[in-house]
Amino acid sequence: MLIRFAFSVTGTAKFLSHLDLVQVFARAVKRAKLPIAYSQGFNPHPLINLGPPRGVAVAGFCEYCDMELKEDMYAEAFEKALASAMPRDIKVFAAKTADKKQGALMAIINAATYEVEVENAETAFLDEAIEKLKNAEHIMCQRTHPKKGVRTVDIRPYIYDLQRQGDGKIFMEVAIGNNGNVRPVDVIEAFGIDGLKATEILRTGLYIRDEKGNKLKP
């Protein structure tokens, strides 16, 4: 059976890479003696699938993970066992059974919300920049690919929402994944404010967004 749960990554754990995180879960599962299924083949590994990677130093409030179990068990019991075996800054919650037919987390999740704390910008300038971006038809962003070189992409269609929340805090909802990907730093750079710096980036949610703009939890 497939169990899906949410987890938060805060504190210094936000510096763990995607692969580091997979390993943390693999060891936790063993400590918790959970009946995880293994892949076939020469070097069997536990069937753990994480959602899209967060990016360096980005904390996550509501990330997702799928685990394939070889025995059935109640999701609540699973959550309790796993939670007790996790290191300090990673918390698991909202475990439930999931439908494999839905597809892998990285494939179905296509939107994310972020809270970005910034410094070196006056409120008035921020508001002005946000207004300009919302009204823009195109926002060009340069991406450097290790093999494909430098490409320029238009990220405007993939920014669904952008607002200032209090002093020095920006909220955004953007596309992520293979059909359009926007990183918070891309948006901050697009503000075009000299010296604007993001001091803290927090991914507050991951969603499956439909054409009408409705956001569903995976």
Partner 1 sequence: MAKKVTQHILTKEIEQDLLPYINKPAQYLGGEFNSIKKEWDTVKARVAFCFPDTYEIGMSHLGLRVLYQVVNEKHDYLMERSFAPMTDMEELMRAKEVPLFSWESYTAIKDFDFVAFTLQYEMSYTNILNMLDLAGLPIEASARSEGPIVIAGGPGAYNPEPLVDFIDLFVLGEGEEAIIELLDLWMKVKAAGGNKLDYLKAATAIEGVYVPLFYKPVYAEAGKLVGMQNEPFAPPVIQKRLIRDVDNVSFPTDGIVPFTQVVHDRVMLEVMRGCNRGCRFCQKSMEVLLEQADKAIAATGYDEIGMISLSTADYSCVGPLIDELMARYAKEGVSVSLPSLRADAFSVSLAEKVQRVRKSGLTFAPEAGSQRLRDIINKGVCEADIMQAVASAFAQGWNSIKLYFMMGLPGETLDDLEAIAYLTKDIIHKAKEVRPEGSKKPINITVSVAVFVPKPHTPFQWYGQEKAENIRKRQSYLRDLFRSIKQARLVCHDSPLSFLEAVFSRGDRKLNQVLKRAWQLGCKFDGWSEHFDLEKWNTAFRECGIVPEDYANRDFAKDDYLPWQHMSSGVSVKWLWHEWEKAKQALVTDDCRHGKCSGCGVCTAVGCDNIYLNSAEK
Name 161's bridge partners: 173
Q: Is the dihedral of CA 115, 121, 127, 130 positive or negative?
A: negative
Which residue in this structure is represented by tokens 């430098």?
A: 150
| Dist CA 218 CA 216 (whole Å) | 6
What is the smallest separation between the CB atom of 56 and partner 1, expressed in angstroms?
6
Quick one: 28 or 98, whose CB is closer to partner 1? 28
Quick one: 15 or 93, whose CB is closer to partner 1? 15
Query: Within positions 144 to 163, which residues make up the interface with partner 1, using CB under 8 A?
Result: none
DSSP 8-state secondary structure symbol assigned to residue 79: H
Rg (CA), the chain: 19
Burial of 199 (0-12, 13-18, 19+ CB in 10 A): exposed
The reply on whether position 165 binds partner 1 by CB under 8 A is: no
What is the smallest separation between the CB atom of 50 and partner 1, expressed in angstroms?
15
The reply on whether position 199 binds partner 1 by CB under 8 A is: yes
Confirm if 124 and 168 have CB atoms less than 8 A apart.
no
Quick one: 57 or 94, whose CB is closer to partner 1? 57
Query: What is the per-residue binding string for partner 1 in 36-75, x denoting contact by CB under 8 A?
Result: --x-----x-----------xx------------------
The reply on whether position 120 binds partner 1 by CB under 8 A is: no
Contact footprint for partner 1 (CB under 8 A): 11-13, 15-17, 20, 23-24, 26-31, 33, 38, 44, 56-57, 85-89, 199
